[in-house]
A and B are shown apart, each in its own frame.
Chain A
Amino acid sequence: MSPPVTPLPTASLGELLLWLLRRRVRKQVTGDSMLPTLRADDMVLVDPRAYRRKLPQPDEIVIARHPFHRDLTIIKRIAEITPDRRCVLLSDNAAAGSDSRAFGPLSPASIIGRVTCRILANG
């Protein structure tokens, strides 16, 4: 049985205002590897400045550049930080494949931003 995953909060007014102020960017999810946290077509807000002054932390959901497909941006959860400060990214959906189990840990430079919340269609 897979360990429970931390749910992603829904967008607060503050987060939505930060988006209006261009401090958050919107991204739309494709695929099912982040189930049950995120479904295909879910809309999320990302803080691209999150890791300017601090390193990514375990349990945070991030978007990152795929190491082998440079034009592909992936969304995964940080499972752990290795002793050499690289990020092990895993899918919430344990049955899914393409994550650090396949491509190894990523350098923090590959992490584009932290996913802060999910936007609900009805607010």
Chain B
Amino acid sequence: MLKQALAKLAYAVPADEVSAHCDGPCGVYDPASARIAAEAVLSMTKKLLALDVPAEGDKDAMIHYHNTFSRYVAIKEEQAHIAKTELLVLWTDYFKPVHLEQYPDLHTTFWNATKLCSSCKVEVSLEHANELMDAIHNIHNIFWATKGRDVEYYTAS
């Protein structure tokens, strides 16, 4: 009787939480978040390369050019960093030793992909932006294969 009353009391009052989440605090992993950021990097790279330099002496056009150029660079920098972070989280938090047995070059795959994020920051390189997209496509295939799911790869643009 006393035990049941105490148990009911102990159960009813809210308590601090302890996490038994499956995959870290939020439990959700998907290479799509890296892919979206990498697409933004590719898009900004294309826009930067397509920008026309204004004629000398045209102050308004020059201000507009520098402002647009700076915004594109800032977005490219930010999104490349997001892509790198998303990849690092996948690599260090999602992937386990058992996956490494299945994909022995997993570490090299992620190392190269995150290095491409750095290259995309340092340069305005269409080649490296495309290589980053290809690397993330490959990681998409590996990731969903480890989950035993056939998830089609797609891009937003």
A interface residues, Cβ below 8 angstroms from B: 11-13, 16-17, 19-20, 25-34, 38, 40, 43-45, 63, 66, 69, 72-76, 91, 93, 95-98, 101-102, 119-123
Contacts and interface: CB of A to CB of B under 8 A. Distances in A.
Contact of A96 (B14, B17, B22, B93): B22
Contacts of A30: 17-21
Given A13-B2, A120-B7, A97 B18 contact: no
Interface in B42-88: none
Nearest to A10: B7
A31 B3 CA distance: 27
Given A98-B24, A102-B92, A102-B93, A63 B18 contact: yes
Nearest to B4: A123
A27 B18 contact: yes
Contacts of A43: 10-11, 15
11 contacts: A11-B3, A25-B16, A26-B16, A28-B15, A29-B17, A32-B21, A43-B15, A75-B20, A97-B22, A98-B21, A98-B25
B111 to A, nearest CB: 18
B5 interface: yes
B21 A33 contact: yes
A97 B6 contact: no
B92 to A, nearest CB: 7
Given A31-B27, A123-B7, A101 B17 contact: no
A123 B6 CA distance: 8
B23 A97 contact: yes
Contacts, number: 118
Interface of B: 2-8, 10-11, 13-25, 27, 92-94, 96-97
B142 to A, nearest CB: 16
Given A43-B10, A72-B25, A101-B97, A66 B92 contact: no
A2 to B, nearest CB: 13
A13 B3 contact: yes
A29 B20 CA distance: 6
Contact of B96 (A12, A75, A102): A102
A91 B19 CA distance: 11
Nearest to B2: A13
A66 B24 CA distance: 9
Contact of A74 (B4, B20, B97): B20
B15 A26 contact: yes
Given A16-B10, A97-B24, A97-B96, A123 B3 contact: yes
A44 B18 CA distance: 10
Contacts of B27: 31
